[in-house]
């Protein structure tokens, strides 16, 4: 058996949507892709599949392929188009492949933590890509250490990988005398949290989704094979027909004998509502609902819940535009383009100078002065995290001559962090955690502010409320967080660690320790799963 791991130094892994590290929006979950298709150029299919999933992660990208004899992994920091070229893709030969585009949730943004991860022994190899976040990472690390029995860690863990994915890879590799399929069915029930896996050995492609189905995972069919991907849009990009979603608690195996499925846990569906609000592509279909249609309906509901007398509705590109369209349709106020977006800034390794930082969002968005001058505007966006971005937008609009600026948000106030695959700000930094709606309105400088209700948002998804996770809005976490508090993005980089347990919203910081925004407005106090909330 031959295993090759290639690394070409390219970027520093500091890609960002934002000009300032102090004003990050919600960071997307990862994207995974897998294909089993003899006779096809599986590396190129995976490349274009990852390209369609690029919005789900911009820190690193990787592809693993197998020709039946050996597995080759090629990964690096950066965007899909920066990591791969014709030469690298042509070296990735075989009949099956998996791919990954990453935003870090557990484990920092380093080359060692890029995926797919690789493990195995002389008798077989496993490559794994993961979308989601496990919440019993510390427990799994203890399990791995126990099974090592004092022996030094091998593979990804020995190379400094501090992600939950590396732990799962180690557990899948622990029994060389047992087929990977059997090992997976014994390991998967031990995992708690949100996960969508695509993994492979030299012959077989596997896909698995956690029992809660927090993150989406879809199955597609090619003329000569099968495909799995985080979103249906990635299947359609490469010409695959969408068959169905991988069910919560289901593992699929695909090889020369066809497709077979296993149930490793009973489904307890809790799909992420934020996929409908922001994360997924508008053309994705999740549980039968087209995401774009859900966002337009959220805009209509916003207009019903928070009407205003205005001259024009504008959406903040790109995620606010569908909801703005719905608001305009329902209210009868004309829809217009108030911002021009530069599609190429915010996807670079070059950090802006201090002068450009002071210009702030103008590098990404510029107001159309001749369109908005003298107008009473309704500005629709998907969420408010810290409030700095909205404050800068409103300032620009007023400078361009807007008479009034009324802000409408197509999700409820974000008050709690996510432990299932989205990297929000810490709770202490979430503006809605410490301020009421009227205080937030004053802080961002809007003439009025309206958030959609929980009920209105959920109704727009056309999903039963009992089958959705809205913990970032309500603090009601459907998958119980560890009572010892060992959770957070850098948990494996900081163990052993003593921390306070969560769920106590009365926990407060000393007033001197409270974070403040640029205008001196408190961003709220800490609380909830306290230890994890202090992580970057």
pLDDT value at 159 more than 90: no
pLDDT digits (tens, 9 = 90+) for 350-380: 555 656 655 666 778 889 999 999 999 999 9
For the chain, percent of residues with pLDDT exceeding 70: 79
Q: Are 432 and 424 in contact (CB under 8 A)?
A: no
In the predicted model, what is the mean pLDDT of residues 208-223? Answer: 97
Structure-token match 């003899």, residue found? 38
Calpha distance 34→226 (Å, rounded): 8
pLDDT band at 175 (very low <50, low <70, confident <90, very high): confident
pLDDT number for residue 356: 61
Residue 373: which of 311, 318, 441 has the closest Cα?
A: 311
Structure-token match 């859900």, residue found? 294
27-270 and 290-342+350-467 have identical folds: no
Listed range (45-49, 95-99, 118-122) with the worst mean pLDDT: 118-122
Q: Are 84 and 8 in contact (CB under 8 A)?
A: no
In the predicted model, what is the mean pLDDT of residues 491-516? Answer: 35
Q: Are 503 and 484 in contact (CB under 8 A)?
A: no
Listed range (57-71, 282-296, 413-427, 439-453) with the worst mean pLDDT: 413-427
pLDDT band at 506 (very low <50, low <70, confident <90, very high): very low
In the predicted model, what is the mean pLDDT of residues 48-54? Answer: 95
Calpha distance 243→62 (Å, rounded): 25
Listed range (3-7, 193-197, 362-366, 443-447) with the worst mean pLDDT: 3-7
pLDDT band at 494 (very low <50, low <70, confident <90, very high): very low
Q: Are 141 and 490 in contact (CB under 8 A)?
A: no
Contacts of 270 (CB under 8 A, 6+ apart): 212, 213, 214, 467, 468, 469, 478, 479
Known binding-site residues for Mg(2+) equal 319, 381-382
- Structure tokens that stand for 11 in this block: 């970027």
Q: Which of the pair, 251 or 484, is modelled with greater confidence?
A: 251
Q: Are 444 and 394 in contact (CB under 8 A)?
A: yes
DSSP state of 423: B
pLDDT band at 204 (very low <50, low <70, confident <90, very high): very high
pLDDT number for residue 109: 60
Calpha distance 348→443 (Å, rounded): 30
- Residue 188: strand, helix, or coil: helix
Report the DSSP beta bridge partners of residue 397.
none
pLDDT number for residue 488: 55
Contacts of 285 (CB under 8 A, 6+ apart): 232, 242, 291
Task: Provide the annotated active-site residues.
Answer: 30
- Residue 230: strand, helix, or coil: coil
pLDDT number for residue 18: 46
- Residue 221: strand, helix, or coil: strand
pLDDT value at 185 more than 90: yes
pLDDT number for residue 351: 52
Averaged pLDDT score across all residues of the chain: 83
Q: Which of the pair, 6 or 497, is modelled with greater confidence?
A: 6
Q: Are 316 and 293 in contact (CB under 8 A)?
A: no
Listed range (98-107, 115-124, 317-326) with the worst mean pLDDT: 98-107
- Residue 186: strand, helix, or coil: helix
Known binding-site residues for [4Fe-4S] cluster equal 272, 418, 469, 472
| Residue 487: HSE in the Cβ half-sphere, 13 Å Cα cutoff | 29
| CATH label, 290-342+350-467, candidates 3.40.720.10, 3.40.50.1970, 3.40.50.2020, 1.10.3720.10 | 3.40.50.2020
pLDDT number for residue 124: 81
pLDDT value at 536 more than 50: no
- Residue 351: strand, helix, or coil: coil
In the predicted model, what is the mean pLDDT of residues 391-415? Answer: 96
pLDDT number for residue 496: 38
Calpha distance 113→463 (Å, rounded): 35
Helices (H), 124-224: 137-148, 155-158, 164-172, 180-187
pLDDT number for residue 272: 97
Known binding-site residues equal 272, 319, 381-382, 418, 469, 472
pLDDT number for residue 482: 85
In the predicted model, what is the mean pLDDT of residues 119-136? Answer: 88
In the predicted model, what is the mean pLDDT of residues 295-299? Answer: 98
Q: Which of the pair, 349 or 517, is modelled with greater confidence?
A: 349
27-270 carries CATH number 1.10.3720.10: no
**Domain assignments of the chain as residue spans, ordered by start:** 27-270, 290-342+350-467
pLDDT digits (tens, 9 = 90+) for 9-49: 443 333 344 444 444 455 456 999 999 999 999 999 999 99
Helices (H), 382-445: 388-399, 431-434, 437-444
Calpha distance 16→6 (Å, rounded): 25
pLDDT number for residue 487: 62
pLDDT value at 510 more than 80: no
Q: Are 347 and 79 in contact (CB under 8 A)?
A: yes
Label residue 107 left, alpha or beta by phi (over 0 means left) and psi (-120 to 50 means alpha).
left
pLDDT band at 428 (very low <50, low <70, confident <90, very high): confident
pLDDT number for residue 104: 58
């Amino acid at each position: 058996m031959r295993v090759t791991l290639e690394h070409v130094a390219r970027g520093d892994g500091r890609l960002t949507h934002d000009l300032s590290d102090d004003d990050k929006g919600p960071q997307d979950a990862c994207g995974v892709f897998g294909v089993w298709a003899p006779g096809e150029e599986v590396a190129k299919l995976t490349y274009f599949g990852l390209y369609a999933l690029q919005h789900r992660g911009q820190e690193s990208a990787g592809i693993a392929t197998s020709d039946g004899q050996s597995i080759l992994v090629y990964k690096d920091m950066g965007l899909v188009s920066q990591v791969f070229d014709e030469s690298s893709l042509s070296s990735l030969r075989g009949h099956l492949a998996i791919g990954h585009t990453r935003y870090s949730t557990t484990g920092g943004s380093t080359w060692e933590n890029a995926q797919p991860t690789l493990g195995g022994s002389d008798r077989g190899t496993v490559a794994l890509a993961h979308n989601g976040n496990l919440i019993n990472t510390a427990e799994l690390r203890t399990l791995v250490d126990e099974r090592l029995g004092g022996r030094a860690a091998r593979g990804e863990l020995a190379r400094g990988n501090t992600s939950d994915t590396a732990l799962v890879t180690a557990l899948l590799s622990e029994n060389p005398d047992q087929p990977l399929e059997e090992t997976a069915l014994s390991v998967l029930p031990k995992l708690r949290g949100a996960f969508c896996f695509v993994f492979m050995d030299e012959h077989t492609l596997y896909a698995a989704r956690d029992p809660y189905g927090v993150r989406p995972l879809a199955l597609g069919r090619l003329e000569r094979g099968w495909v799995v991907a985080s979103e249906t849009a990635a299947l359609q990009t490469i010409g695959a027909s969408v068959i169905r979603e991988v069910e919560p608690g289901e593992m699929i195996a695909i090889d020369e004998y066809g497709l077979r499925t296993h149930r490793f846990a009973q489904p307890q569906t809790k799909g992420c509502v934020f996929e409908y609000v922001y994360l997924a592509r508008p053309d994705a279909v999740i549980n039968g609902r087209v995401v774009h249609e859900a966002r337009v309906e959220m805009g209509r509901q916003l207009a019903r819940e928070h009407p205003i007398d205005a001259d024009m509705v504008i959406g903040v590109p790109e995620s606010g535009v569908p909801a703005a369209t719905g608001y305009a349709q329902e209210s009868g106020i004309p829809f217009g383009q108030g911002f021009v977006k530069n599609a190429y800034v915010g996807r670079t390794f070059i950090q802006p100078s201090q002068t450009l930082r002071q210009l702030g969002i103008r590098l990404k968005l510029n107001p159309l002065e001749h369109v908005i001058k003298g107008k009473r505007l309704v500005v629709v966006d998907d969420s408010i995290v810290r409030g700095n971005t909205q404050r800068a937008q409103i300032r620009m609009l007023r400078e361009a001559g807007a008479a009034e600026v009324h802000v409408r948000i197509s999700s409820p106030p974000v008050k709690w962090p996510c432990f299932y695959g989205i990297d929000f700000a810490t709770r202490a930094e979430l503006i809605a955690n410490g301020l009421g709606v009227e205080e937030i309105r004053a802080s961002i400088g809007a003439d009025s502010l309206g958030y959609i209700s929980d009920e209105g948002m959920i109704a727009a998804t056309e999903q039963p409320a009992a089958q959705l996770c809205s913990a970032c809005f309500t603090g009601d976490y459907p998958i119980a967080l560890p009572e010892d508090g060992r959770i957070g993005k850098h948990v494996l980089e900081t163990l052993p660690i003593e921390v306070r347990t969560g769920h106590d919203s009365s926990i407060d910081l000393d007033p001197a320790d409270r974070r403040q925004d640029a205008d001196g407005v408190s961003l709220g106090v800490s609380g909830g799963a306290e230890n994890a909330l202090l992580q970057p």
